Structure 1
Amino acid sequence: MTAPAARLGRGRWRDRIDAALVAPGEARTARWVHAGVAAVVGLRLAARDWTVLADRAPALRTHTNLLGWVPDLPAAVLVVVQVVGVLAAVAAIARWRPRLAFGVAWACYLVLCGLWTSSGKVMHNDVLTVWVGMVWLFAGPPGRDVPPGERSVRWGWPPRASLAVLGCVYFLTGFQKLVHSGPRWAYSDNMAWVLLEGAHTSPFGPEFPQAIAHLPVVPQLLATGALLLELSAPLLLWHRWSRPLFALAVAGMHTSIWACLGLDYSAWVLTAAAVTLPHLRSPRVVSGRSGWRRGW
C-alpha cells in the first residue's frame, strides 16, 4: 500500500470511529448508565468504614501523589464526607439535580479513596469507577422531561465515552503486565506463586488456592485467560453483541480473584455491568455513506 493510500485508509478509520463516538444516542441509555455508575459510587461509599483513617499513625502517611496534601481528618469529618457522598449519589439516581449531585458524590468518593492509601493515590479497587465516573462530570444526564426514546448527540457520546474508558483501563491493565513481565506473566509459574503467596487471604481458607496452584496447567490457563480478556477489552466492548459476554467474563475473573486471594474487585464488576448492559436496548447506529454498522 502506498503512503497516500495508507494515510487515506487511516483517515477513513478515524472518521468512522469519530462518527461512532459522537453519533446520536437514546436518552434512556444515558440515563441508565449515569444512574448505574452513581449507584456504584454510592454503594462503595456506604459499604466501607472510612473512620479507620482517623486512627492511622501519621508516620504511615507519605503526603505524596493525588491527595497527599490533605491533612489527616478526624472521624467526624470522614463520616460527614461519606454521608454527603451517599446522599448525593441517591439524588443523582433519583434525577434531582443529577449532574450536580453526581459531581458531589464523585468528589466525596475521590477524596475518601485517595485518603485510604498512604501515598494519597486512589486504590486500585476503585480506580476504574473513578475514571468512568469522570466522564459524567462533563456530561449532563437527561432530565425528567426528556422522553426515554429521544435521540441526540448529547445523550449519545457520554455512554460511549464510558465504554471507551472502561476498555482502555482494562487494556492498560493487561498491557502493563506485558511491559513489566512479558508473556511469561501468563505461561510461567507466576500465577502458581501468586496463588501460594496469597493463599492466607482467601475467604475459603488457604487450602483452596493452594490446591489450584498445584494443579498442572490450570494456573497458566487462568493467567492467560485474564490477560487475553484485558487485552481484548476494547474489541469486546466495540461490538454490541459481545458486551454481555465481557461483563460476564469480568464477573467471573474478579470473583475468582476474590475466592483465591480475597481481593475485592466488586466495584470493577458493577461498573462494567453499569456501563455495558444499558446499551443492549439501543438500536444500532448506522453512520457513513456506505452504511457502516458497528455495535456503538
Structure 2
Amino acid sequence: MQSDSAEQLARSITAAADKDNLPAQSALKQVLIIDDDPALLLSIRAGLEDNPRFQVLTASSGREALDILDQRNMDLAVLDIIMPDMDGIQLLTALSESFSEIPSIVMTGFDSPVMKRELKQAGALAVLDKPLDIDTLEQEIISALTDSGRRRCDLPLEIFLQLAAMERRTVHLKVFQATGSGSFFFREGLLVDAELDGLSGDNAVLAMLDWSDFTLGLKEYVPPYSEPRVNSALAYLLLKTSCRLDQYGSSACLERARTELRRLQAARG
C-alpha cells in the first residue's frame, strides 16, 4: 500500500509540474521551489497556488533547478538544505556564480545558528525552519519579491554588447525575458557565440537584439571554449537591427552600462 501511495503521489507531482511549469502567460512573479520531498512540494504548491502575486514552479533536485533557471526567467528560488545530488550550500554557490540576480530563501531542519550564519554568508536572503509554516513562507516570498534588488534594464541590449567589445571582456552575458532566456559569449572582446532556444550564432544575436524588456545576468566564461559560431562582426550585426546606439551611445549611457556590469560582477563575488 505504501508503494502504491508513493507512486500515486509521484504521478500527482508530475501532473502538476506538466501543468504549472509551462511558460507564464501573465506578469506574475515566478518562484522556484526546490526540494527532493514530493509530499512537501505538493503541500507547498497547494498552499501557495491561490496567491495572486506569484506563480510556483518546482524542482526535485539542484541540477533540475539549474536546468530550469538556465531556460526560464525566475524571480526567486526557495531551496532545501539537504538534497541527494547537490546540497543547499552547493546550490547557493552555483546560484551566486551563475544567477546572481535571483535571490534565494533556504529551508532547513537544522536549528543551528552556525548553519544559518553560513547559509546567509553563502547568499541566502532568509533561512526558514522545518517543519515549514506555509503562511510564514508566503510572507517571506512576498517580502523577497518586493525587496529584491533585481532590476530590468532601461538601456538597450546593444549598449552592453558594445561595452563588452570595447573593454575586451571575456564574459558570458545571460539575458532573461518573460518568454525565455539567451546568451552572448565574448572572448577578449570578440563576440564568438550566441544561443537562444534552437538558434545560435548570427541568428540568435539578431533575434535577441529586438528585445526591449530584459534582465541581465553575468556568468564566467572559461575554457574549454566552443568553436565560434558568430560569423559576422558585431558592428555589422548591430547595423542590421533597429540599432539604438545613436540614441544611447553617449559616454553617460556607456558609463551607466559599465556601472551595471560592475554591480553584477560584485554580486557574483
TM-score where L is the length of structure 1: 0.28
- More relative contact order, 1 or 2 (CA 8 Å, 6+ apart): 1
Q: More strand per residue: 1 or 2?
A: 2
TM-score where L is the length of structure 2: 0.30
Task: Please say which structure displays the higher CA radius of gyration.
Answer: 1
Q: More helix per residue: 1 or 2?
A: 1
